[in-house]
Amino acid sequence: MFRRQLLNGAAAIAAAATGLPRAAAAQGAAPAAPAPAAPRVLKFIPQADLAVADPIITTAYVSRNHGYLIWDTLYGFDQDYKPQPQMVQSHSVSPDGLQVTMTLRDGLKFHDGAAVTAKDCVASIRRWAARDALGQVMVATLAEEAGKPTGIAAPDDKTITFSFKKPFPLLFEALGKPATPVCFMMPERLAKTDPAVPVKEMIGSGPFRFKADERVPGAKIVYERFADYVPRADGDISWTAGPKKANFDRIEWTVMPDAATASNALQNGEADWWEQPPGDLQALLRRNRNVNLEIQDPTGLMAMARFNHLHPPFNNPAIRRALLGAVNQADFMTAVIGTDKSLWRENVGIFTPDTPLANDAGMEVLTSPRDYDKVKRDLAAAGYKGEKVVLIAASDFPSLNALAQVGHDMLKKCGMNVEFVSTDWGSVVQRRASKEPVEKGGWSMFFTFWAGVDMFNPGVQQAIRGHGQSAWFGWPTAPKLEELRTAWFEAPDLAAQQEIARQIQLQCFQDVPYLPCGQYFQAWAYRRNLSGVLKGLPMFWNVQRS
């Protein structure tokens, strides 16, 4: 009896330890299967918090980078900036260029289990086009009557057709460009919502799912691998093109506004990848044998000061023109990235340096000797009478904060009445959307940057649009710029495009939609045990840890 009780007691202990029924444990059943391996987690420090989760209604890069995790695109861009099929299996173009047919590839599925259909894509294209500069040109070229939007259609679940009244050769570039906003494919029920109102659900068909239940605003954003994602079977892996293979089970973004904290986390192995280490910490990181620093985007980042054109004082073009004489691009770039001139450029105009449309037309307004006394006189002659300038600055975004600090000093030296509003980037993103005057919570100026790929030409550059209330934040009305932009689209060859680009730059120095503040090159920092990190922008497919 004692022996049976002892055995039963041992069986109970074994059952509790193994999770087996008591009888099975008493009979010496095989031990339970090993516990599953811990999830593979990539820990990333983004440039800023995710203030806006819908990447169609904002041009913020953090929202675009978030978008590429969740949503897929019909086309991707390779490292030569050429579009390659992504969700599309094949396409055809009629001899006259007026009809384009695309066929979706097999296996496309949304995160909620529904199959991706051509109707989803048509609705997504239209929602994106309502917000995108190049998309708006595409829609204007479609062969459709008012009230009958038949220029983009879905004759069946896998076929998308485009009908144009004249050829639109930039169609594939428009649908695949990584310039914001990106043409992401959403479920039809989301894509049919107002393009000015954020979608409520983060449902895509990309390689990762958004974990809304783990979102901590201002601190953490989490994504998990989408098990049903089917990568392309062909194509070279390059920028946003080619097969997207998710090698991590989870991607965790941890927001760390303090650069020293982020640096320590990377060096201690608490983080794997830091998107924007500031220039003053890069030398320290380079000395760490476990950390790799690389400039992954050869087009760099183009910095600018954006005006609010709706309200005084910057609704006056002469006042905007006067400030061109105060801009010292070297001061801005040194503040952002340091004194190493290999990491930045001055004497930068409207188009990305070393690209086909970059030119020197009118550059003397930026390269002549800086003279603040002259600027003061020019401001007075232009009619500046001490109106308040509300400069909104992102205190938790080191590069933008540096730009704003230099800009604040510049405006004060020019004798302007400046109110410096230092707040978080999320608040800047929200406030810059306000069209109210400054006394009602509006703004006068903010600083930002665009990737060089977003400044290549008039088709993708949002900041030179001059179509008033429909333009990018700041809402300039510049009919001559719009006229030149239209002419650029119709130019017969590169030489004609380059001549129009010179005219556009000259006109920009008259209308001054923004102040060009230089170009710099941002290194990423990541642990050396990561491989497969792609060039271009932070993308999380194909990355793996050794």
Q: Is it the case that residue 14 has pLDDT exceeding 60?
A: no
Question: Cβ of 526: how many Cβ atoms within 10 Å?
Answer: 25
Q: Which residue has the higher pLDDT, 304 or 60?
A: 304
User: How high is the pLDDT of residue 232?
Assistant: 93
Long-range contacts of 131-136 (CB under 8 A, 24+ apart): 131/56, 131/57, 131/181, 131/195, 131/196, 132/174, 132/181, 132/183, 133/459, 133/460, 133/461, 133/462, 133/465, 133/472, 134/170, 134/173, 134/174, 134/177, 134/179, 134/459, 134/460, 135/174, 135/183
Q: Which two tokens stand for residue 336?
A: 């952002």
User: How high is the pLDDT of residue 11?
Assistant: 37
Question: Cβ of 315: how many Cβ atoms within 10 Å?
Answer: 16
The mean pLDDT of 494-507, rounded to a whole number, is: 96
User: How high is the pLDDT of residue 403?
Assistant: 97
Residue 115, strand partner residues: 109
Long-range contacts of 91-97 (CB under 8 A, 24+ apart): 91/172, 96/167, 97/164, 97/167, 97/168, 97/169
Q: Is it the case that residue 79 has pLDDT exceeding 90?
A: no
pTM: 0.81
Q: Which residue has the higher pLDDT, 374 or 17?
A: 374
Residue 458 CA to residue 482 CA, distance in Å, equals 10
For 314-352, write each residue's pLDDT tens digit: 999 999 999 999 999 999 999 999 898 989 999 999 999
Hunting for tokens 């985007």 — which residue is that? 297
Hunting for tokens 């608490």 — which residue is that? 270
User: How high is the pLDDT of residue 372?
Assistant: 97
User: How high is the pLDDT of residue 9?
Assistant: 37
User: How high is the pLDDT of residue 361?
Assistant: 98
Closest CA to 277 of 535, 527, 542, 540: 527
Q: How confident is the model at residue 32 (pLDDT cuts 50, 70, 90)?
A: low
Residue 488 CA to residue 499 CA, distance in Å, equals 9
Question: Cβ of 364: how many Cβ atoms within 10 Å?
Answer: 10
User: Chain-centre distance of CA 522, in angstroms?
Assistant: 15
- Give the DSSP letter of residue 229: -
User: How high is the pLDDT of residue 126?
Assistant: 97
DSSP letters, 72-133, are -BSEEE-TTS-EEESSEEEEEE-TTS-EEEEEEPTT-B-TTSPBP-HHHHHHHHHHHHTT-H
The mean pLDDT of 285-300, rounded to a whole number, is: 92
For 84-97, write each residue's pLDDT tens digit: 999 999 999 999 99
The mean pLDDT of 122-130, rounded to a whole number, is: 97
CB–CB of 307/514 below 8 Å?
yes
User: How high is the pLDDT of residue 277?
Assistant: 93
Burial class for 55, CB neighbours closer than 10 Å (0-12, 13-18, 19+) = buried
Please, which residues have CB within 8 angstroms of residue 35's CB and are 6 or more apart in sequence? none
CB–CB of 262/274 below 8 Å?
yes
The mean pLDDT of 437-448, rounded to a whole number, is: 96
The mean pLDDT of 486-502, rounded to a whole number, is: 92
Q: Which two tokens stand for residue 275?
A: 């998107």
Residue 73, strand partner residues: 184
CB–CB of 418/305 below 8 Å?
no
Ranges of beta strands (E only) in 194-333 are 208-210, 220-225, 250-254, 273-274, 291-295, 301-307
The mean pLDDT of 277-281, rounded to a whole number, is: 89
User: How high is the pLDDT of residue 37?
Assistant: 67
Domains and CATH numbers, the chain: 303-520 (3.10.105.10)
For 379-413, write each residue's pLDDT tens digit: 999 999 999 999 999 998 889 999 999 999 999 99
Q: How confident is the model at residue 16 (pLDDT cuts 50, 70, 90)?
A: very low
User: How high is the pLDDT of residue 7?
Assistant: 34
**Phi, then psi, of 225 in degrees rounded to 5:** -60, 135
Residue 65 CA to residue 75 CA, distance in Å, equals 16
**Mean pLDDT across the chain:** 91
